[in-house]
Amino acid sequence: MNIDEQFEHFLAGLGVEMESPDDRPYNGDSIPEISIFQASRDHYGVFYRLDIIDQIPELRIMVPVNKGDAKMDIYLVRLSEQTPLNNFFSKMSIYEGSAAYEQGREAALQHLLYGAAEMMKQLFWSGDLTRLTFPHEIEVYPILIQSERQTGRKKAR
């Protein structure tokens, strides 16, 4: 059994069913160019993972809940294509600058990712988690939603 099958089996024990990769609105197998983990300053028990994947900023939000074995829901937040920041990150990654620019590229991308993530967090928390409705500037995908009953299954993206 490979690692993906093991993870799928683990999630099945938690009452979560994985969708096939073709059903996902994003490529979960891409390797992040940059990853940053944070604990929330404003929401108790919430953790964030910030990534630049395929030249697009992504934010995963882990929210504690009082149901299921994992006791957390996980959401993927991306900026909608309407926002100019998506193009900005792709243009930044293909630009070849001077040696000094290249030396500071990763630190600059980290700072830019922090800024984009702060915007995505604010937009996420201004939405409605129970109805999964959010401002049009972001797209939110539930990745892991704990079911009320462990025998029932929820889809994870």
∠ CA 29-86-39, rounded to 5°? 65
Nearest to 48 by CA among 29, 75, 11, 69: 75
Helix (H, G, I), strand (E, B) or coil at 153: coil
Q: pLDDT value at position 108?
A: 87
Q: How far apart are CA 147 and CA 15, in angstroms?
A: 7
Q: How far apart are CA 89 and CA 92, in angstroms?
A: 5
Quick: pLDDT tens for 104-156.
Answer: 988 888 899 999 999 999 999 999 988 999 999 999 999 988 765 433 444 34
Quick: pLDDT tens for 32-63.
Answer: 788 889 999 999 999 999 998 888 899 999 99
